Amino acid sequence: MATGQLFSRSTQALFYNFKQSPIQRMLDFDFLCARELPSVAGIVNPGSDGFQKLFFGQEEIAVPVYGSVVAGCKAHPTADVFINFASFRSAFASSMEALKQPTIRVVAIIAEGVPEGDAKKLIAYARANNKVVIGPATVGGMQAGAFKIGDTAGTLDNIVSCKLYRPGSVGFVSKSGGMSNEMYNVLARATDGLYEGIAIGGDVFPGSTLSDHVLRFNNIPQIKLIVVLGELGGTDEYSLVEALQQGRVHKPVVAWVSGTCAKLFKSEVQFGHAGAKSGGDLESAQGKNKALKEAGAIVPTSFESLEAVIKDTFEKLVASGVIIPVVDVTPPIVPEDLNIAVKNGKVRAPTHIVSTICDDRGEEPTYAGVPISNIIEKEFGVGDVISLLWFKKNLPRYATKFIEMCIILCADHGPCVSGAHNSIVTSRAGKDLVSCLVSGLLTIGPRFGGAIDDAARYFKDAYDRQLNPHEFVETMKKKGIRVPGIGHRIKSRDNRDKRVEFLQKYARLHFPSVKYMEYAVQVETYTLTKANNLVLNVDGAIGSLFLDLLVSCAMFNQQEIDDIVEIGYLNGLFVLARSIGLIGHTFDQKRLKQPLYRHPWEDVLYA
């Protein structure tokens, strides 16, 4: 067991099992104390590495993450404290591994409920190798103005009110972490504050004892007064009684053992900690307080009078010149996290993303205000979901059925078209699904599958300007622009595209108006006089019919319709639909275990 100071302003730790809140609290404490270096040198997360972003004052820093204890210790040989936030199931293995590292002097085990057999092994190894174990079942410990473990001392507000940002003259040790926080407040009121505080933990077998730390405090020149808070159960306090009787402690010790109320119960009572249970007179709070007082400790008559006794003892030490009270300083202000400041109404922060189509903050997600449960219960189809997420409207069923027809009819057009060919080649190159899909999607544009928006745009402009088909086509010809939605490499006057016929038939039966489609048919009649394959293709059919849908359903104003066409909603239908086919081609090639594709020489003109 160490015989002197455990921590200093240069102490650095390795933190096991990443927990953002306690690490950030340590770094905030560092800033409050004006430390030059962060006290957390690195984080050990088994099986992972990289870094975690945290704040050191105003500055955002990257704290390295290591996949093993050995790697962390090797990278940071000056980090001699190991803070273990592992669960009680794995705390033994990780703590023992840390104790075996030559660079580690102190191991703090936060977990409660570590098996007693494991705790005994850790204690034996630590004592045999002159190392310190704090815990299990501890909040940790701290040196005021220098270093703290995890959540020790609680919030920043509590740390400031307890003046823990600078060292005082009192050494304090307790079994309880919660009571330590309370006692830090007491010490700030009754004395010039804490120098070092340790919570040894409430389990039956703590890694270090009350007397271990009292004897350390006795060897630290800056500590002039020692305060001990014990509890009923066990016999740990008697090792302190023995040290006092042997004259090994030369500084005033104010001590109190809590749990005197246990005498009011007729049977044995288990209090909060595993080791805090009322047993015989030897383990009772009254018995321990009596023994401590007889050994020379200053023991109050009750916990309520503890603060007054500490204050009186401190003032006597000041009067005798043993203590020169520490002059207080004003600590720096730790920047507040933005989310906390916003929550407390201190600042206004603009959002970075705006979403109007869905909301996932409630009990269930909503699409355009419609709960998912409603969508399922009312048996909405894919077209209905698209109407909510794309158009933010619950379109009539004939409209959503038309959307679904477009997806079905455009899902695939064979392996020879550009998109499918690209996906097939990429799949045969052994690439993953997303790569294969994207390689096919990237071919979609004005020459392949991307003419729906242009067809809608040009047909709408021509119809709204009341151009007859001859004027429209010839004007486009003069501009050197092919009419989008007109023309097919295979289909012709005598070999019509069945997809176009299906869409036209459905629209004539269900749409209130098909004026744009009829205009497109008139354009087709004119273009067929020029060439047999200048038929209305599926892009032109979808583009013109979607205009009819938007206009005739009476749910969109003119500006909304113009925006839909301009933004590219209609090409979105083709992208969504064709993704189904591209994924199918990708899976098909992988299922068939097709080899790497190489284009044949005879199909290339080498010019």
Phi, psi of 258 (to 5 degrees): -85, 160
Of residues 252, 255, 253, the one with CA closest to residue 320: 252
**Whole-angstrom distance, CA of residue 416 vs CA of residue 413:** 8
The letter for the amino acid at 341 is A
Q: How far is CA 372 from CA 359, 378, 397, in A?
A: 11, 10, 18
Residue 141, both tokens: 């410990």
Residue 575, both tokens: 């992208």
Token pair 């030059």 is at which residue? Answer: 36
Q: Report yes or no: 486 and 535 within 8 Å, Cβ to Cβ.
A: yes
Cis peptide before 64 (omega within 30 of 0): no
The letter for the amino acid at 347 is V
Q: Residue 90 CB: number of other CB atoms within 10 A? A: 15
Of residues 288, 289, 271, 269, the one with CA closest to residue 279: 269
**Whole-angstrom distance, CA of residue 244 vs CA of residue 185:** 27
**Whole-angstrom distance, CA of residue 474 vs CA of residue 391:** 34
Which is the catalytic residue, given 76, 273, 488, 585?
273
**Whole-angstrom distance, CA of residue 369 vs CA of residue 366:** 5
Residues in Cβ contact with 263 at an 8 Å cutoff, skipping those fewer than 6 apart? 278, 284, 286
Residue-wise DSSP of 547-581? HHHHHHTS-S-HHHHHHHHHHTHHHHHHHHHHHHH
Q: Report yes or no: 73 and 41 within 8 Å, Cβ to Cβ.
A: no
**Whole-angstrom distance, CA of residue 224 vs CA of residue 140:** 22
SS3 label, residue 59: strand
Identify whether 488 is a catalytic site residue. Answer: no
Phi-psi region of 40 (alpha: psi -120 to 50; beta: other; left: phi over 0): beta
The letter for the amino acid at 513 is S
Residue 583, both tokens: 């994924």
**Whole-angstrom distance, CA of residue 536 vs CA of residue 519:** 11
SS3 label, residue 501: helix
Residues in Cβ contact with 436 at an 8 Å cutoff, skipping those fewer than 6 apart? 423, 426, 427, 582, 583, 585, 586
**Whole-angstrom distance, CA of residue 15 vs CA of residue 72:** 9
Phi, psi of 61 (to 5 degrees): -125, 160
| Active-site residue set | 273
